[in-house]
Amino acid sequence: MYVAPVFIPKYCILKGCDSHGHVDGVRSSHITLPGCPKYHNNVGRYFLEIRDHAQDLKSSEEMDEEIVVGKQFIKVHEPSLDGLASDADILLFRRAQQKLASDKKKEVTDHLITLAKLHGMQKGKKPLSLQVFISPLPSATTETPLYTENNIKEIVFGDWEMQTWYGSVFPPTIACLPRIYICEFCLSYVPHLVGYRRHRLRCKRRFPPGNEIYRKEKLSFFEVNGALQKEYCHNLCLLAKLYLKQKTVHEIDQVSAFLFYILTEADESGCHIVGYFSKHKAEEQDLPPAAFNNLSCLLVMPHYQRQGFGRMLIEFSYTLSRLEGRWGTPERPLSEQGLLVYRRYWRWALLSFLQPYHNRDVSFEVISEATGMTTKDIITTLLDLGMLKYMRTKYFIVNDKAKIEQILKEVGEPRPDRQIDTSCLYWLTELTPVAKTFESPQNV
């Protein structure tokens, strides 16, 4: 799938400036106030002459971007230096300005930040002032300003171009951009298309940095320890925050307490991320051994949604719970969409157990051992289905086979390739003394 490049408008925002000339004396055009000769009350040739006489200044490559003169907002110039110092001192000052303006990468970054500030002030209908553009960027310890919280409108992920739904907490130099580029294999993010193409050519990763614990045909699950792969898991959380409103675990110092189970689909180019779920490590949870949160966060990538992968991720979380000898439940609160998926799965799992069951007596413990569900979730599901009755100081499950069959038809049988095949699961726990290994995912 071809992704068309996005060109950020590059023009000087000083009123009356045509973007010609540059303070560094090399480039023929500029985009920022620090690089604007007119803002410094001079013309481009003045700084060109300074450059010609300054042998110690390094040359810089010329800008090849097309300059588009559009709306210009700033009318205030730099304060005049006439009479403040001698001509020699002013010349030294101008040469220092040249050196500072010669960093092209910093100039582009400053311009993007400036445009983001303009956009944020226009949305808030605040008056424009020069102080906004000369004030320093906030430090890492201060709260991220509002104009950078939700400016990312779309991402390029692999060969896919996707709109975002919510804001995330990327660094300010990334968060201010309307589009960012994310490597689908290592999850590194870059601000520009050129850098993204270069990264894709050089990136050697083709599958998540963890243990492959499940493989059936093209689908695989990788277990990634947040304590061992902090940067990867941190970037995964930043990506998830773009599509999950209630996603809160994104700080890199928190991912160490989580395990991440990443579902991928393989082809000749590598293992592509379908979705993932995370869960607190058992030792990090202050819960009884028999019941714990087996899922903290769940995400299915937008281009893989409505294909049964969400249900598959949930089933896999319960499969692991049963192997651990625990009864699992998702971490609350659940989103509306998450609650619907879970209710659908709970009905299917519970009724699939009751349909062939013919004994007259059954305990919640037996059901929990078979399904991995907690007693609370079992009772809630039975009440929703109207199958739990209280008579003569006892609770009875109405095991109506016809009703169960009808409900199962309404719920729908999951696709065979979206169901977990435990024979394809190779996972070592305290309860499983033997572990099998796969061949390298690179051979998929």
Asked if the model's pLDDT at residue 255 lies above 80, the reply is yes
Contact 172, 143 (CB under 8 A): no
Percent of the chain with pLDDT over 70: 73
Domain extents for the chain?
1-136, 146-202, 211-443
Asked if the model's pLDDT at residue 397 lies above 90, the reply is no
Active-site position among 78, 331, 413, 439: 331
Q: Across all residues in the chain, what is the average pLDDT?
A: 79
Q: Report the pLDDT averaged over residues 179-186.
A: 96
Q: Report the pLDDT averaged over residues 397-421.
A: 89
Read off the pLDDT band of 121 (50, 70, 90): low
Percent of the chain with pLDDT over 90: 40
Q: Is pTM, for the whole model, over 0.85?
A: no
Indicate the CATH number for domain 211-443.
Answer: 3.40.630.30
Question: Which of these ranges, 68-82, 101-115, 148-162, has the smallest mean pLDDT?
Answer: 68-82
Amino acid (one-letter) located at 249: V
- Give 397 or 64, the one with higher predicted confidence: 397
> Comparing C-alpha atoms, which of 214, 35, 159 is closest to residue 109?
35
Question: Which of these ranges, 85-89, 176-180, 324-328, 395-399, has the smallest mean pLDDT?
Answer: 85-89
What pLDDT, on the 0 to 100 scale, is given for residue 30? 84
143 is catalytic: no
Full 3-state SS string of 11-61: CCCECCCCCECCCCCCCCECCCCCCCCCCCCCCHHHHHHHHHHCCCCCCCC
- Give 340 or 442, the one with higher predicted confidence: 340
What pLDDT, on the 0 to 100 scale, is given for residue 245? 83
Contact 169, 241 (CB under 8 A): yes
What pLDDT, on the 0 to 100 scale, is given for residue 275? 97
Instruction: Mark residue 220 as left, alpha or beta (left: phi above 0; alpha: psi -120 to 50; beta: remaining).
Output: beta
Asked if the model's pLDDT at residue 307 lies above 90, the reply is yes
pLDDT digits (tens, 9 = 90+) for 335-372: 788 888 999 999 999 999 998 888 778 888 899 989 99
Indicate the CATH number for domain 146-202.
Answer: 3.30.60.60
What pLDDT, on the 0 to 100 scale, is given for residue 150? 61
